[in-house]
Structure 1
Amino acid sequence: MKRLPLFILCLCICFAASAQSSLRSLTKGKYADGPDSITPVGIIKGLSDEQLLETVQKQTFRFFWHGAHPYSGLALERSNSVKAEHYWDYINEAWDEPNFSKTEFGKDAGAIGGTGFGIMSTIVAVERGWIGRDTAVRRLIQIADFLINADCYHGIYPHFMNGRTGKTIKFDRLDDGADIVETSYLLMGFLCAREYFTKDTPREIYLRKRINQMWGAANWNWHTNGENKLYWHWSPNNGFDMNFPVWGYNECLITYIMAASSPYKGIKKSVYDGTWAGSTGFKNGKEYYGYILPLGNYDKDKGGPLFFEQYTFQGIDPNGLKDSLGNDYFLQGKHHTLINRAYCIENPKQFKGYSDKCWGLTAGDSYKGYVAHSPENDRGVIQPTAAISSMPYTPKESMEALRYFYYELGNKIWSNYGFVDGFSIHHNWYAKSHLAIDQGPIVVMLENYRTGLLWKLFMKIPDVQNGLKKLGFASPYIKGNN
């Protein structure tokens, strides 16, 4: 083979490099339009509050961007693998279903609710310039296209799904089908995306079309089973045998709001009134540590885990939100958080490490497996997401906790995906895991605290406003309801 003269070879190399550079220039803005990767950082000294918030949000978002399932784009349920029985440690530590216990969560296990949180986090990432807009749209289309062809039951998705095959990963012998609560989180995220990605470009038009298909297909009314309440699960194999009504007050408020907001297959107000809203146990009104807790019949639990005040309110703005009985949802979130913090300061079980800067009990990983931590179920484990995601309610107290976690404990709990899921100074245990449902609220609730971005997007949706009005809520966002 005849060799090219050296100078011609150099010219060819230079031309190729120039052409490649020109191609990058041409495609930037048309396709790439911004970064497509995020470099992790370690502990950076001397950050202002705003810089620290940005750093924590950005690094936490890496879980959804770099840690997503490579085939479907779904948020993985967790960054590690864990046997299924560990999810039930807080319900029954003698779980004894051997066939089910062989199931592992991780690897290909996509979280439907966590994916909704990840979609909302992706909007934040675009708005803050961490990733390119079109790059993000491509990822969301990847997710939407996958879900359109995945297991779905009357428009309702399962709790966990194999991110490669789209098949349901059963959570229980009876819980092997639709999960209406997780689906409400997913569609909350997608509706926010529909409101944000409004450009008249082929990809954004296509994404909105896909979202409308999913929103229109969800048959919320099916989950009433002909009664005035929603049932959490339905299975093609077991029907409503799980027999688990969506009760409250807890993280499921968004499920009733979404179900009432659907213009296609939505519920009547009587369905909402048939659950906690119509029960005598809906209101609490008791005082703990000097704070009155408006809602929740939790005499011993002092409000329950803090995710009750975070999941729904990633999209629903609690500021000025009141129901027909006059309950103030911002006050509920604030007081619940302050009660949780005050309990940790009191520290009746004398766990090492608890303080006014180290607090926050909610569901997450522990040395005992996955546990719904609360004052009633306190095992000495702090979840960073509990205090951090409470920033809109308790900015001063949450910022103190955030600075403590980052600067004092960062060498043990700060990772390439932000803070690990949990830790216990008392037991000298520090998680290696990250969970989608804990990572998402950190990104989203910090953004709502900083700019109200997701609140503004979600609350302006006419369907959502109609759903809130149908259920008797008042909000500054609702037209004619100010």
Structure 2
Amino acid sequence: MSMQHRTQRTSEVPTFSPATVSGRRKKSRISRLCQAGFALGALAGTFGIAQAGPTVSTALTPALQPASLPAADAAFVDDLEKRTFNWFWETGNPKNGLVPDRAPLPNGAASIASVGFGLTAYGIGVERHYITRQQAVDRTLTTLRFLASLPQNDHVSGAAGYKGFFYHFLDPNTGLRVADWSELSSVDTALLMGGVLFSQSYFDHDTPQEKEIRDVADKLYRRIDWTWMKAHGPWLSMGWMPPHTFLPSDWKGYNEGLIIYLQALGSPTHPLPAETWKAWTATYENQWGDFQGHKLLNFAPMFGHQYSESWIDFRGVQDAWDRAHNVDYFQNGREAAYAQRAYAQANPGDWKDYGPNIWGLTACDGPGDAQQVYDGKKRHYLAYSARGAGRDYILDDGTIAPTAVGGSIAFAPEIALPALKEMRARYGDRIYNKYGFLDAFNPSFADQKSYWVDGQQLGIDQGPILLMLENWRSGLVWNTMKKNAYLRTGLERAGFEGGWMRTKTATSKSVGQSL
């Protein structure tokens, strides 16, 4: 499963200089547990399991609309979105466009997934008048030119990628693979391409710079050899290590891999066979079922419901698997948010503050590998881990991640917005700084200031907050991506029908010319 990639970003992220790299990321065994099919009981002894209640019918349409917000709520949403945008704009390297994995972290690595979210952020910044269109053009073009100029080869060092894919973590100055622990990542390349394809479709003016954006974006996408990454059968590998070793895990089971397969199916140069999608969805069945009274395709951490959906509007759009189960991926994300909230209300682990407006489990930073007594019980706490609650597994040490809620606001604003407001009001500036919410906090873990709060923000957690806020408010990212012919081709080859796909959307200029 996909946790292998998320859990490499521990709170003990090594720092580096251009000349030396020290330390290695700890790797969680969560992904192996998932692929081995461990039941909920595998983690029950330490973290507790909520009992499933009767199935609850969740309305298909979010009840809260941005236009109906009271002035104070609208001001809060404005403030959160602008602060979160500023994280990408101000922490990104203006000389080459690379965005850090996390900040603040002196000498920290850049993350290609952060770059993908950042490229998308710049269009949002234009529409919200945070920056000018010319500023966004300049930063986007700088980023795309730099990515296209970086060496691609199978050498252990001295390259940024291979076969069109990029290494997960890059030196923020040179753009080269940061160290030998960084894998060539299929999912992080796909998240990067989410931003690349957004840029291709958003910058549609007939100017030399915007035409170059479209052309360079086209080059970056078309050169990815998706067929090469299919190492172990019909599924894509999670990644590769030079000089010739594919990671043992493939993209199976429902998770954020949706966007990888759709991009691979939409490729005009190295497309996967159309039947790949059926092979992918055939691995879903063990995840389908009831959790906390909600029937859904389970994936315990919320990020698995948010990454693909940040760029793709799945409302009313269904593949064959969806049609057979009377669901779509948007509604599934909505059910997942409600199920997580219900889990927090049930609070089987008796963690502090959990309730209807304090909830949200996903992969995030944590207090560290430690034990403390809380509420009369000896508790084990974790560092960066793929926390989550679902039918597939539960991993919960009392750590709340605001991105789990903020990245769900387009799915279920009527429960997400009150939760964000409550976190802001209850914990104040300890968890909310000039860039919005810090990555995570744990009211049950005592430290010098009474409870633990992270000191950093992560690009892969800031991104869903920003993109899904804007999708809820205006649909900007979704509507822009509907114009991208590569994405539409991927959806069509995967068998998606309905919703906005009933209408032929005008494609962005370079894409239409390239197909």
Q: Normalization by structure 2: what TM-score?
A: 0.75
Q: Is the 8 A contact 2:94 2:139 kept in 1?
A: no
1:443 aligns with 2:466: yes
SS in 2 for 1:269: coil
Deviations 1:54-74 (A, max 9, x none): 110100111111111343221
Q: Report the alpha carbon displacement of residue 479 of structure 1 after superposing the two structures with TM.
A: 4.3
- Which residue of structure 1 aligns with residue 104 of structure 2? 80
Q: Which residues in structure 2 correspond to 1:384-463 (within 5 Å)?
A: 384-427=402-445, 428-463=451-486
Deviations 1:352-396 (A, max 9, x none): 111111110011111022111113110100001111110111111
1:157 aligns with 2:137: no
Q: Which residues in structure 2 correspond to 1:51-90 (within 5 Å)?
A: 51-81=75-105
Deviations 1:84-124 (A, max 9, x none): xxxxxxxxxxxxxxxxxxxxxx6241111111111111111
1:291 aligns with 2:313: no
Please tell me the residue identity of whatever aligns with 1:264: T
After superposition, the Cα gap between the structure-2 partners of 1:466 and 1:164, relative to the gap in structure 1 and judged at 3 Å, is same
After superposition, the Cα gap between the structure-2 partners of 1:251 and 1:233, relative to the gap in structure 1 and judged at 3 Å, is same
- Which residue of structure 2 aligns with residue 124 of structure 1? 124
1:304 aligns with 2:318: no
Query: What is the distance in 2 between the residues matched to 1:285 and 1:237?
Result: 38
Structure 1 vs Structure 2: percent identity of aligned residues?
Answer: 32
Please tell me the residue identity of whatever aligns with 2:190: S
- Which residue of structure 2 aligns with residue 95 of structure 1? none
Query: What is the distance in 2 between the residues matched to 1:248 and 1:125?
Result: 35
Aligned alpha-carbon RMSD (Å): 1.9
Q: Is the 8 A contact 1:230 1:271 kept in 2?
A: no
After superposition, the Cα gap between the structure-2 partners of 1:114 and 1:282, relative to the gap in structure 1 and judged at 3 Å, is farther
- Which residue of structure 1 aligns with residue 18 of structure 2? none
After superposition, the Cα gap between the structure-2 partners of 1:146 and 1:315, relative to the gap in structure 1 and judged at 3 Å, is same
Q: Is the 8 A contact 1:141 1:207 kept in 2?
A: yes
Q: Which residues in structure 2 correspond to 1:227-242 (within 5 Å)?
A: 227-240=233-246, 242=247
Q: Is the 8 A contact 1:288 1:339 kept in 2?
A: yes
Deviations 1:2-22 (A, max 9, x none): xxxxxxxxxxxxxxxxxxxxx
1:318 aligns with 2:318: no
Determine which of 249, 266, 272 is the counterpart of 2:254.
249
- Which residue of structure 1 aligns with residue 491 of structure 2? 468
Q: Is the 8 A contact 2:357 2:418 kept in 1?
A: yes
SS in 2 for 1:311: helix
- Which residue of structure 1 aligns with residue 156 of structure 2? none
Please tell me the residue identity of whatever aligns with 2:226: W
- Which residue of structure 1 aligns with residue 384 of structure 2? 370
Q: Report the alpha carbon displacement of residue 330 of structure 1 after superposing the two structures with TM.
A: 2.0
Please tell me the residue identity of whatever aligns with 1:153: Y
After superposition, the Cα gap between the structure-2 partners of 1:475 and 1:162, relative to the gap in structure 1 and judged at 3 Å, is farther
Q: Is the 8 A contact 1:149 1:166 kept in 2?
A: no
Query: What is the distance in 2 between the residues matched to 1:155 and 1:387?
Result: 33
Q: Is the 8 A contact 1:160 1:171 kept in 2?
A: no
After superposition, the Cα gap between the structure-2 partners of 1:171 and 1:413, relative to the gap in structure 1 and judged at 3 Å, is farther
Please tell me the residue identity of whatever aligns with 1:182: D
Q: Is the 8 A contact 2:402 2:440 kept in 1?
A: yes
Q: Is the 8 A contact 1:323 1:473 kept in 2?
A: yes
Higher RCO by CA contacts (8 Å cutoff, separation 6 or greater): 2
After superposition, the Cα gap between the structure-2 partners of 1:134 and 1:361, relative to the gap in structure 1 and judged at 3 Å, is same
Query: What is the distance in 2 between the residues matched to 1:215 and 1:59?
Result: 30
Query: What is the distance in 1 between the residues matched to 2:467 and 2:85?
Result: 10
Query: What is the distance in 1 between the residues matched to 2:110 and 2:230?
Result: 26
- Structure 1 gap segments, 5+ residues each: 1-45, 82-105, 297-302
- Which residue of structure 2 aligns with residue 143 of structure 1? 143
Q: Is the 8 A contact 2:431 2:453 kept in 1?
A: yes
- Which residue of structure 2 aligns with residue 264 of structure 1? 269
Q: Which residues in structure 2 correspond to 1:196-207 (within 5 Å)?
A: 196-207=202-213
Query: What is the distance in 1 between the residues matched to 2:110 and 2:413?
Result: 32
SS in 1 for 2:88: helix
SS in 2 for 1:75: coil
- Structure 2 gap segments, 5+ residues each: 1-69, 151-159, 369-382, 446-450, 506-515
Please tell me the residue identity of whatever aligns with 2:493: K
1:330 aligns with 2:344: no
Query: What is the distance in 2 between the residues matched to 1:65 and 1:438?
Result: 15
Query: What is the distance in 2 between the residues matched to 1:171 and 1:413?
Result: 34
Query: What is the distance in 1 between the residues matched to 2:180 and 2:87?
Result: 23
- Which residue of structure 2 aligns with residue 40 of structure 1? none
Q: Report the alpha carbon displacement of residue 177 of structure 1 after superposing the two structures with TM.
A: 4.3
Deviations 1:382-439 (A, max 9, x none): 0011111101111111010111122222221111111100001111101111000000
Q: After alignment, is 392-401 or 221-230 more displaced?
A: 221-230
Please tell me the residue identity of whatever aligns with 1:220: W
Query: What is the distance in 2 between the residues matched to 1:226 and 1:286?
Result: 28
Q: After alignment, is 46-55 or 416-425 more displaced?
A: 46-55
Q: Normalization by structure 1: what TM-score?
A: 0.80
Q: Is the 8 A contact 1:269 1:471 kept in 2?
A: yes
- Which residue of structure 2 aligns with residue 23 of structure 1? none
Q: Is the 8 A contact 2:232 2:250 kept in 1?
A: no
SS in 2 for 1:314: helix
- Which residue of structure 2 aligns with residue 90 of structure 1? none
After superposition, the Cα gap between the structure-2 partners of 1:479 and 1:318, relative to the gap in structure 1 and judged at 3 Å, is closer
Deviations 1:192-229 (A, max 9, x none): 11111111112111211111110111111111137311
SS in 2 for 1:256: helix
After superposition, the Cα gap between the structure-2 partners of 1:394 and 1:261, relative to the gap in structure 1 and judged at 3 Å, is same
SS in 2 for 1:477: helix
Q: Report the alpha carbon displacement of residue 481 of structure 1 after superposing the two structures with TM.
A: 8.8
Deviations 1:321-340 (A, max 9, x none): 21112142122111111111
- Which residue of structure 1 aligns with residue 21 of structure 2? none
